[in-house]
Every structure is written in C-alpha cells, then in structure tokens.
C-alpha cells in the first residue's frame, strides 16, 4: 500500500495537487497547512514520491527504485529538513540543509524535494535566509513547507507559497481508519475518534497513551459519584485534578460527559452516546435533571476552562465548578 492510499480525507485537495503534478503545473514551493497529526507529512511524502516516480505519470507507482527509496528515507534527492542543534529550524539549518544543497543539481531525479516540518516555527533569521532561494529557485527545486498556521510565517515567505489547507476528518473517518488499519474495536474507535478532533495522528497517540486513559477513568468515576458525595470530598477532588493542568483533554472529558448527559436526556438510549461504558450512570443522571440544569453544569465547566486559560487559581476554579455542578444536581 503506498502513501497515497494510506491517507484518509481531503480527497479534493489531493486530487488537485496530483493533477498539478501530472500537468506539470506543481508550484516550486507551497505550504501544507493543518493541525498536528492531520497527515501533512504523509501528504508531503506522497507528493515527493509522485514528483520523483520513474514512471513519470504524476502519481507514485510504489514499485520503482525512486518510490521505494523515498519510502525508506534514503532517496538522495529528497530531504527532510530538521533542526540539528535547537528545537526549531535556525538559519544554520537552512543554510546547510537547503541553500547549500539546492545549489547542487539532482543526483538521479528530475527534482530536488525539500520538506520542512513545522516550518511555521522557523526563526525569523531562518526565514530570511530561505527567502532568496524561494525568490530565485532552480528549475529542479521543490519546497514543501508544513505548518499548523501559515500566518505565523513572514508575509514575504507566504507571498511566494500558495497555501493548501488540510481539513480535519470526521469522527467517523477517524474511527474507520482505526478499525481497518489498527483493528480497534468499534466502540473504542468511536470513542477515540471523538477525542481526536479530526486527526488520525492524535487518535493513534491516544490509543497508546495510558496517561490519558487513566485520567479519563478518574474523572468519569468522580463525575458519576458527584451528586451523592459530601462537600469535603468534592473539594479534595479539585486539589487532585490540579495535576491535569497541562492536559488539554481534561476539559474535553468533562465537556463530553455532560454532552452525553444532555444527549441522553433528550434522546434516551441514543446510539451517539460517547461514554457507553458509563451509560447506566449517565442515564440515571439525565433522568434526575432538567435540560436547564445540565446546561448550567456545562456552563460551569466552560467557566472553569476559561479561568484556567487566564492562569487564575486552578484549584479554586475547579472547586467552584464542582460545587456549582453539585448544586445543580441536588434534586
């Protein structure tokens, strides 16, 4: 299976880019924009293979020497430009890995292809050092800049690179990938697909992240027990949850739980319920509350999340959130 076949979603964009290769209209430089884990690197790999394929048909045959050496990372005319001494690309990285290398003609292929992961994290000096190459590229030079936010690049760089935005996948597309490629059970795939925010990379990370699963289990267990738990114990939970300060998915677990409660309130036994393992507890809670009470619990989570983003006292924000929710659930 080649890299093109492994990709999911963004079919229209992929057709557009590979059509440009077939017609000889592919730009000498472009920006592939999208969230981390959305497949920018996989698309860049597919484009590099198509550009260098010995069949010359604008797609990757997957079997020629060029296609196989690109897949193995050993192609002499395809370069992944990575920082050598710091965490981001600096001017020395650009000078040594791009400017000096592009001055040498291809060893065996039609093009020299340079892929710059996290290009939007390049230093200003590195971008300025790259600018002359972008302005006067050799005919054989192709530069694929991968970025979460193209707007973070200098305007002078952006003006010379068309931006192609990858859209997040649907929850169903992510779940299908996990079931078909990783043999993940259907319910777990649906659960991970919801948390993955449309990116297969994030779903694969969550699949292997025991810390996420432990945090999710802890939070859900406490939320289910919240209505019948005394205030002192509830306040102790707030202190415990401060450990999740750096985990952005902590807030997603809270929000999606009360989303499930509201959904169960409106559509009992809904097949769209995310936390199916807690269905009985969610059903009991949804039957005891009005839609207004559930929405106010959701509002309490949103308020605490905003306070956390503003670097306010997290423990106090969590205490207020939990006590507000507990008050709403006192029926």
Question: Within this chain, do residues 200 and 242 fall inside the same structural domain, yes or no?
Answer: no
pLDDT at 189: 85
Which range in 50-54, 190-194, 205-209 is most confidently predicted, on average pLDDT? Answer: 50-54
Domain co-membership, 277 together with 157: no
Q: Does 38 share its domain with 117?
A: yes
Distance, CA of 185 to CA of 206 (rounded, Å): 14
Q: Above 60 in pLDDT, residue 1? A: no
The better pLDDT of the pair 194, 75 is held by 75
The answer to whether the beta carbons of residues 94 and 128 sit under 8 Å apart is no
- DSSP character string of 233-286: HHHHHHHHHGGGTT-THHHHHHHHHHHHHHHHHHSTT-TT-S-GGGHHHHHHHH
Residues 197, 56, single domain; the answer is no
Residues 215 and 98 in one domain: no
Q: What pLDDT is stored for residue 273 in this prediction?
A: 63
Domain end marker among 165, 195, 221: 165
Domains of the chain: total:
3
Instruction: Give tens-digit pLDDT for 139-161.
Output: 999 999 999 999 999 999 999 99
Residues 274 and 290 in one domain: yes
Question: What value does the mean pLDDT of the chain take?
Answer: 88
**Which of 165, 192, 222 delimits the end of a domain?**
165
Q: Is 112 found in the same domain as 253?
A: no
Answer with the one of 145, 165, 185 that is the final residue of a domain. 165
Instruction: Please tell me which residue, 116 or 267, carries the higher pLDDT value.
Output: 116
Query: Residue 270: its pLDDT value, please?
Result: 63
pLDDT at position 153, please?
Answer: 96
pTM of the model: 0.72
Domain identity same for 308 and 195: no
Read off the tokens for 139.
Answer: 């005919």
Tens digit of each residue's pLDDT (9 = 90 or more) over 198-253: 888 888 888 888 788 889 889 999 999 998 899 999 999 999 999 998 887 899 88
277 and 155 inside one domain = no
Is pLDDT above 60 for 4? no
244 & 160 share domain:
no
Beta pairing partners, 113: 78, 142
Residue 200: burial class (beta carbons within 10 Å; 0-12, 13-18, 19+):
buried
pLDDT given for residue 2 in this prediction = 41
Q: What is the pLDDT of residue 237?
A: 96
> Does the pLDDT of residue 95 top 80, yes or no?
yes
CATH code of the domain covering residue 10: 3.40.50.300
Range of the domain at 31: 3-165
């Amino acid at each position: 299976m080649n890299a093109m076949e492994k990709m999911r979603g963004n079919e229209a964009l992929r057709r557009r880019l590979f059509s440009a290769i077939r017609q000889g209209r592919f730009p000498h430089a472009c920006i592939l924009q999208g969230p981390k884990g959305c497949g920018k690197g996989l698309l860049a790999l597919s484009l590099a293979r198509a550009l260098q394929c010995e069949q010359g048909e604008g797609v990757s045959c997957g079997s020629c020497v060029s296609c196989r050496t690109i897949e193995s990372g050993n192609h002499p005319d395809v370069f992944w430009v990575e920082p050598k001494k710091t965490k981001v690309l600096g001017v020395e990285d650009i000078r040594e890995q791009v400017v000096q290398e592009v001055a040498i003609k291809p060893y065996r292929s039609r093009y020299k292809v340079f892929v710059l992961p996290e290009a939007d994290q390049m230093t200003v000096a590195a971008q300025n050092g790259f600018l002359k190459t972008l302005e006067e590229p050799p005919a054989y030079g192709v530069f694929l800049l991968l970025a979460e936010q193209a707007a973070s690049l200098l305007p002078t760089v952006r003006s010379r690179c068309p931006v192609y935005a990858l859209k997040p996948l649907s929850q169903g597309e992510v779940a299908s990938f996990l079931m078909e490629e990783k043999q993940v059970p259907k319910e777990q795939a649906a659960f991970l697909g919801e948390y993955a925010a449309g990116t297969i990379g994030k779903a694969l990370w969550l699949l292997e992240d025991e810390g996420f699963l432990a945090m999710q289990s802890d939070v859900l267990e406490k939320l289910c027990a919240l209505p019948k738990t005394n205030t002192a114990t509830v306040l102790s939970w707030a202190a415990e949850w401060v450990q999740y300060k750096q985990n952005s998915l902590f807030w997603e677990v809270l929000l999606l739980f009360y989303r499930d409660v509201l959904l169960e309130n409106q559509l009992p036994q809904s097949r769209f319920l995310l936390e199916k393992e807690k269905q009985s507890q969610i059903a009991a809670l949804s039957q005891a509350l009005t839609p207004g009470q559930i929405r106010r619990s959701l509002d309490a989570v949103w308020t605490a999340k905003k306070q956390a983003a503003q670097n306010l006292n997290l423990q106090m924000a969590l205490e207020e959130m939990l006590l507000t929710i507990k008050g709403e659930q006192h029926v």
